Amino acid sequence: VFATLECGPLPLNLCLAPGSATLEEMIASTPRGLLVTRFHYTNSISPRETTITGMTRDGTFLIEDGKITRSVQNLRFTESILNTLQRTEMLTRQVKLSADCLVPAIKVSAFTFTS
């Protein structure tokens, strides 16, 4: 038995150009939000819509009035990568190598956590 999968583009060796902000500036400019330090167990659920699901891991923190106030439990998310990138507000100067991606920290105006 053979199966065929319909997919579209597959981002490999992704590099995202850095911005001009520091992580501290991102946090200070956030009235209320979450700082996610790592995503884990991410899987594509709709390649055509670039929708992925996964969990936060190793540190998720509540930001209030521009300050980290406490840690929060890990959260599940379901989100379109392209929609998330369209909501980008800030990028850090510093980039990080993670798996096969070289990316800065990203501040977005909205992100969908499902639980």
pLDDT of residue 57: 93
Nearest to 44 by CA among 2, 9, 87: 9
Residue 57 token pair: 């891991």
Question: Out of 1-5, 31-35, 60-64, 79-83, which region has the weakest mean confidence (pLDDT)?
Answer: 1-5
Distances (CA, A) of 22 to 9, 11, 71, 104: 31, 26, 21, 10
SS3 70: strand
pLDDT at 4: 54
Name which of 6-20, 46-60, 72-86, 90-104 the model is least confident about.
6-20
User: Which pLDDT belongs to residue 1?
Assistant: 47
- Taken in order 36, 68, 96, 17, the sign of the CA dihedral is positive
User: pTM, whole model, 2 decimals?
Assistant: 0.86
